[in-house]
Chains A and B, each alone.
Chain A
């Protein structure tokens, strides 16, 4: 469980996140959504401690994150981010094995158990065949899956992902999010695509204007009357077979232009 209370961050003079509180519950998937620049990634970085909020605190399973040693924090939080170390000459297998680091003492080498865990995690993201390849020569989508495998190999109690579906084709977008959903960890996912959020998240936090616009179960947050002013686009919601689907339609000035042309 991650409980953040009144965390803030500003880049220079501009506050991006201002006194935000969120709770991610065990066994559930929390989605962070919002338009560009609404601070989704910044909030996620505050939650895993890459940024230290000057206000409030982040509590992970009862302990203040800022008091946890890096080693211990990495056993509780596994993070998938876009930093890929482009020049690295590590192989895919070696990259995934780095996820075992938080479980090993300084003098310990990776054991057969670690290798089996890493191999299993690679298989789970459909990348078992990539093991011997140099990481730097993979495609964007393959890299993304390998980084997810590394996070899985960490066997942390929480999984935090920043736009995990970037670079992935439609099939792997669904496979990866489905995988996240089937894990019994507490997961937090930053997502652009509202329909993916609708399908794979339990709870959502909608960010806009430095703070939380709405938070709660998916069905409540994905309400066109809440979303439309935040995203500035027309939204229709269809509930088909118990699943939510959102359709988007440019409004305001587009239709206004059409009308003026017709007149």
Chain B
């Protein structure tokens, strides 16, 4: 209908409204996909459960949906106690990794940045290794592993921040370098802990944790904290989208467009460190999601962060849940660490993206 197109052009000289509608379209499609993904993923596993039954079990627990109980107690337990928390954790971790990746890429102006760049995960790994091998954090009871991983992550971000700030201003390049340095140092610490413990069983569980797993998911405080922090982070990064746009161009541009770059960078650092600390504590280091998903989101909806952040969150959630399904099902009953799946899927994907990038740039 040419007439309406013409009218739209007059009211929308820059095509901004058209791009907004496109983004809204993607948000709807991805939200529906996420729900379908969630129900299918809960149904998938050693014991398959039909999607409709899954939906009815979840509905029954959530809102006390009336109707006769047509499923068996074991099905109920598998869906509600085992798989649903796991799928939810997968969504949260995937979304969290994706939005932190988006923010970090803007913050250090490097498209190869990922959420682990700041050494946060190395700190968490050291903490987790200390907990698994030497019983550190035993005072936290069932949360010993997560708590000491989080303390490690927190310590690492503090260290990175203090080193980056030692020159007065926290600049992008200073942050990058201190993150890499602290990351390597803590990686060595983790390796040393494994070496010093001399326990084959212990080092196996550390290794398993390092490669990432959603197996710790329960209906517990940890899941609640993860949800609050990561949903909060995604919200914060969406509403500060315009500021991320200008920060990604340059410090001086940011300043002349009304954003104090140093102060904003420190706030971002706090949000990202907290999110990565929480998600690494809950699920270990899952690679490539935070690096690849931001690129994918930008391809779908363009560069402005107010659009990229929510789209990346949904994409990350969907991808991680499917990666976890593969990890659970592929060699069942043996479970593959999810980090192996995401890296195997992510690496070729990144290569394709790079090829496309060069093709369009030339």
B304 touches A90 (CB 8 A): yes
B302 touches A89 (CB 8 A): yes
A101 touches B258 (CB 8 A): yes
| A216, CB-defined interface residue at 8 Å | no
B250 touches A115 (CB 8 A): no
| A259, CB-defined interface residue at 8 Å | no
A98 touches B256 (CB 8 A): no
The minimal Cβ–Cβ distance linking B239 to chain A, given in whole angstroms, is 6
The one of A48, A70, A87, A118 that contacts B111, using a Cβ cutoff of 8 Å: A87
| A178, CB-defined interface residue at 8 Å | no
A81 touches B256 (CB 8 A): yes
Instruction: Give the distance in Å from the alpha carbon of A107 to the alpha carbon of B306 in the complex.
Output: 11
The minimal Cβ–Cβ distance linking A229 to chain B, given in whole angstroms, is 33
The minimal Cβ–Cβ distance linking A141 to chain B, given in whole angstroms, is 19
The minimal Cβ–Cβ distance linking B288 to chain A, given in whole angstroms, is 21
A70 touches B258 (CB 8 A): yes
Contact flag A48-B256 (CB < 8 Å), given A90-B304, A91-B302: yes
Interface pick from A7-15, A72-80, A220-228: A72-80
B245 touches A90 (CB 8 A): yes
A112 touches B15 (CB 8 A): no
Residues in chain A near residue B249, CB distance under 8 A: 83-85, 88, 98
B303 touches A89 (CB 8 A): yes
Instruction: Give the distance in Å from the alpha carbon of A43 to the alpha carbon of B239 in the complex.
Output: 35
Residues in chain B near residue A255, CB distance under 8 A: none
Name the interface size band of chain A: 35 or more
| B11, CB-defined interface residue at 8 Å | yes
The one of B13, B111, B258 that contacts A74, using a Cβ cutoff of 8 Å: B258
A93 touches B16 (CB 8 A): yes
The minimal Cβ–Cβ distance linking A184 to chain B, given in whole angstroms, is 20
Residues in chain A near residue B258, CB distance under 8 A: 70-75, 101-102
The minimal Cβ–Cβ distance linking B347 to chain A, given in whole angstroms, is 22
The minimal Cβ–Cβ distance linking B167 to chain A, given in whole angstroms, is 15
Which residues between 90 and 113 of chain B lie within 8 Å of chain A, taking CB atoms?
Answer: 109, 111
| A31, CB-defined interface residue at 8 Å | no
Residues in chain A near residue B250, CB distance under 8 A: 83, 85
| B14, CB-defined interface residue at 8 Å | yes
B13 touches A115 (CB 8 A): yes
Chain A: CB-nearest residue to B261: A70
| A131, CB-defined interface residue at 8 Å | yes
The minimal Cβ–Cβ distance linking A48 to chain B, given in whole angstroms, is 6
B303 touches A116 (CB 8 A): no
Which residues between 54 and 89 of chain B lie within 8 Å of chain A, taking CB atoms?
Answer: none
Which residues between 213 and 257 of chain B lie within 8 Å of chain A, taking CB atoms?
Answer: 239-240, 242-243, 245-246, 248-250, 252-253, 255-257
A83 touches B111 (CB 8 A): no
Chain A: CB-nearest residue to B253: A83
The minimal Cβ–Cβ distance linking A247 to chain B, given in whole angstroms, is 37
B13 touches A131 (CB 8 A): yes
The minimal Cβ–Cβ distance linking B109 to chain A, given in whole angstroms, is 7
B15 touches A131 (CB 8 A): yes
B248 touches A88 (CB 8 A): yes
| A49, CB-defined interface residue at 8 Å | yes
Taken residue by residue from 1 to 36, chain B's Cβ proximity to chain A (1 for < 8 Å, 0 otherwise) reads as: 000000000011111110000000000000000000
Instruction: Give the distance in Å from the alpha carbon of A208 to the alpha carbon of B132 in the complex.
Output: 67
Contact flag A106-B13 (CB < 8 Å), given A79-B256, A87-B109: no
Instruction: Give the distance in Å from the alpha carbon of A98 to the alpha carbon of B258 in the complex.
Output: 10
Instruction: Give the distance in Å from the alpha carbon of A71 to the alpha carbon of B11 in the complex.
Output: 29
Instruction: Give the distance in Å from the alpha carbon of A88 to the alpha carbon of B246 in the complex.
Output: 10
- Can you identify 9 A-B contacts, CB atoms within 8 angstroms? A69-B260, A71-B258, A83-B250, A85-B249, A88-B249, A89-B303, A97-B14, A102-B258, A104-B242
A81-B253, A115-B14, A116-B13 known, 9 other contacts, Cβ within 8 Å: A48-B256, A73-B258, A74-B255, A81-B256, A87-B111, A91-B303, A98-B245, A101-B257, A104-B242
A-binding residues in B (CB < 8 A): 11-17, 109, 111, 239-240, 242-243, 245-246, 248-250, 252-253, 255-260, 298, 302-304, 306
Q: Which 5 A-B pairs have the closest CB atoms?
A: A74-B258, A85-B249, A93-B14, A102-B258, A119-B13
